[in-house]
Amino acid sequence: MPRPAPRPLLAILALLALLAAWPAQADTLRLAYPAQPKSLDPQAYPPDPAAFPIIMTCYRRLFDLKEGTSELDNAEAAAVTYRLSDDGLIYTFTLREGRTFTDGTPVDSKAALYTFDRLMGGQTGRTYFPYLRFIEILGPYTFRLYLTQPFPPFLASLTTPMASLISPGLQRQGAGFLDRATLGSGRFMVDEYKPGLISLKLRLDLPSVPRLNRVEFLYEPDGQARLAKIAAGEAHLAWDAPLPAASQGEAKTILAPSFETRFLAFNMTRPYLRMDGAREALAGLAKVALSSPDPAGRPTTVFPAGLAPRSALTEGFDPLSLTERATELLSQLGPSRIPLDLAFRPADGAARRDAETLAEALAKHNLPVRLVPLSGAHGQGLLEKADWDLLIDFRRPEFPSPEMWLGRFLDSRSSVAGNPARYSSPEADAIIAELNVAPPAERPVTLRRLATLATQDRPYVMLYQRLIPMAVDPRLQNLRPHPMWPEVWPIEATNLDPFKNAPKAPPPTVEIGPLIKGFDDPVAEPYE
């Protein structure tokens, strides 16, 4: 019969066990999401947004974005520098030396060759990188990417999850390996994958490691259940959860801004809307009718907040002046002889409310409005034929760049979905053509000229940006999710120190960022 351990030894063993368990608890970030990813492969088609939080954490890309903006950042990215040829077709990249993937393979030009060869060999590359032609290796850490035509948003496209660098060691793995594992060069890697849970562990072979040791993604389809995990101390954040009830005092709501923006478009093929002053008058009345209590609550430029270059225009907002100016212009124009058809998507409850509010406001100025719900094949037909006068809808750019935003909205060669106003301006087309080949340093100036023209012509009114509700523990401070993909939380910057020996969390609050206003209605998928 074995002898029992001495009491001092038992105490020491218990203490060691406690110390071993404590960091895992204190340094593990837990995030509750509604749906588990179907595949963690960055180049899976179609891309799965549920996988983006994991992909953006476990992989590196050639460039990142600065927090809350569309400006490039390479502080932690794979590329150190890049050069663009005068014709806008050749990008030369130099990679940061000394980086490795989780399997020990170096992050070098061979890895870039493998990544982009694999990307362009699948539907994801053909869909999201249509102008990428081929790659040329110049040295161990230098390579070139060639385009078939100039495409200013190309660098922004390289910040997307789909452009994540993947280890060539994947060739030694079985089919479907990346569905449940990762082979990136980020600070974390998948450690466990099972129904309802994906766990990431910190790579200990990298310098300057963050404070977190583990990240656990918990998957729960019920929003109230996700919210309850915060109140029970089982999660730090609940993605797309309902507003916390007053009794659940251990959660607050962050309304995260995205690049998805609601706009009002004027059909530039309609005679009344082509008249001088008509769009200016309607734009002013729309801003007044649909403004939030805080006049700064809705964007009034042609750029959503965070997409604008530093030199972009800003417009003031004075409801009284706008109304007086609109009244003066309408008196000169005279009333519209027929009702204006205001189209909106009926599945979008906020769009319906905005349409009804705008129709009521215009009727007070002797402008009758007929509401036209866009549903089914009939609604799609109305859009394609531009059989409407005013349109309220949401859009977001395919890539996080102001060039993509303005190019889609103002280029006369763009599709109906990209240029719903049917805006056609030789001057705008010339500026866009110039923008395609302008050096990166000159693009903000060119964008300003395009923004000035759009502000003067007013084919659109940008109303506000969509906000995504996230319930979080109040001790998570000063962190904003990715504006292009708000489901992506800034994991590496998260600090759980306030959770150690912290007092009970304060009552719930709601944070709303500057220059944004949103609604909690579900928004239907874009129709393009």
Provide the phi-psi class of 233: left if phi over 0, else alpha when psi is between -120 and 50, else beta: left
What mean pLDDT comes out for the span 328-332?
91
pLDDT averaged over every residue in the chain = 84
* 147 shares its domain with 277: no
Answer whether residue 171 shows pLDDT above 90: yes
Q: Specify the 3-state DSSP secondary structure of 111.
A: helix
Among 165, 147, 161, residue whose Cα is nearest residue 78: 165
Q: For 183-227, what is each residue's pLDDT tens digit?
A: 999 999 999 999 999 999 999 888 877 788 999 999 999 999 998
Tell whether the torsion through CA atoms of 138, 142, 148 and 150 is positive or negative: negative
* 450 shares its domain with 302: yes
* 312 shares its domain with 171: no
For 125-129, the CB contacts below 8 A with 24+ separation are: 125/43, 125/162, 127/45, 128/47, 128/157, 128/160, 128/162, 128/398, 129/157, 129/162, 129/163
Q: Specify the 3-state DSSP secondary structure of 41.
A: coil
Q: Which of 175, 203, 219 is the last residue of a domain?
A: 175
Residue 367 lies in a domain: yes
Look at residue 300 in the predicted model and tell me its pLDDT: 65
Q: Specify the 3-state DSSP secondary structure of 471.
A: strand
Residue 178 near residue 40 (C-beta atoms within 8 A) = yes
Provide the phi-psi class of 164: left if phi over 0, else alpha when psi is between -120 and 50, else beta: beta
Q: For 140-169, what is each residue's pLDDT tens digit?
A: 999 999 999 999 999 999 999 999 999 999
Torsion of CA 28, 33, 39, 42, to 10 degrees: -70
What mean pLDDT comes out for the span 273-302?
79
Residue 387 lies in a domain: yes
Count of the separate structural domains present in the chain: 2
Residue 317 near residue 289 (C-beta atoms within 8 A) = no
* 316 shares its domain with 437: yes
**279: which 2 tokens?**
């769009």
Residue 461 lies in a domain: yes
Among 322, 328, 329, residue whose Cα is nearest residue 275: 329
Look at residue 293 in the predicted model and tell me its pLDDT: 52
The Cα–Cα gap between 343 and 371 comes to 6
Cβ-based neighbour number of residue 1 at 10 Å? 3
Could you tell me what percent of the chain has a pLDDT over 70? Answer: 85
Q: Which of 465, 485, 506 is the last residue of a domain?
A: 465
Residue 352 lies in a domain: yes
Per DSSP bridges, beta strands 72-73 and 79-84 are unpaired
The conformation of residue 344, written as its DSSP 8-state character, comes to E
Residue 65 φ then ψ, to 5°: -115, 145
* 272 shares its domain with 136: no
* 285 shares its domain with 412: yes
Residue 44 lies in a domain: no
Residue 207 lies in a domain: no
Could you tell me what percent of the chain has a pLDDT over 90? Answer: 52
User: What is the pLDDT confidence band of residue 524, given thresholds at 50, 70 and 90?
Assistant: very low
Torsion of CA 451, 454, 459, 462, to 10 degrees: 30
* 381 shares its domain with 271: yes
Look at residue 511 in the predicted model and tell me its pLDDT: 42
Q: What is the CATH number of the domain that holds 143?
A: 3.40.190.10
Residue 237 lies in a domain: no
Buried b (16+ CB within 10 A) or exposed e, 52-80: bbbbbbbbbbbbbbeeebbbbeeeebbbe
Look at residue 469 in the predicted model and tell me its pLDDT: 81
Query: Among 100-114, 269-283, 306-320, 458-472, which range has the highest average pLDDT?
Result: 100-114
Residue 211 lies in a domain: no
Q: What is the CATH number of the domain that holds 400?
A: 3.10.105.10
Q: Which of 159, 175, 191 is the last residue of a domain?
A: 175
Stated as kind and residue range, the H or E segment containing 426 is helix 426-437
Residue 86 near residue 99 (C-beta atoms within 8 A) = no
Domain span at residue 360 reads: 259-465
Look at residue 17 in the predicted model and tell me its pLDDT: 42
**57: which 2 tokens?**
């954490």
Answer whether residue 516 shows pLDDT above 60: no
**13: which 2 tokens?**
């063993």
* 276 shares its domain with 393: yes
* Strand blocks (E) in 140-251: 142-147, 188-194, 197-202, 214-219, 237-239
User: What is the pLDDT confidence band of residue 117, given thresholds at 50, 70 and 90?
Assistant: very high
The Cα–Cα gap between 261 and 333 comes to 30
Comparing 389-393, 426-430, 516-520, the range with the smallest average pLDDT is 516-520
Q: For 416-464, what is each residue's pLDDT tens digit?
A: 778 999 999 999 999 998 988 888 888 888 998 998 899 899 999 888 8
Per DSSP bridges, beta strands 72-73 and 64-65 are antiparallel
Q: Which residue has the tokens 């395919």?
A: 398
* 272 shares its domain with 388: yes
* 67 shares its domain with 171: yes
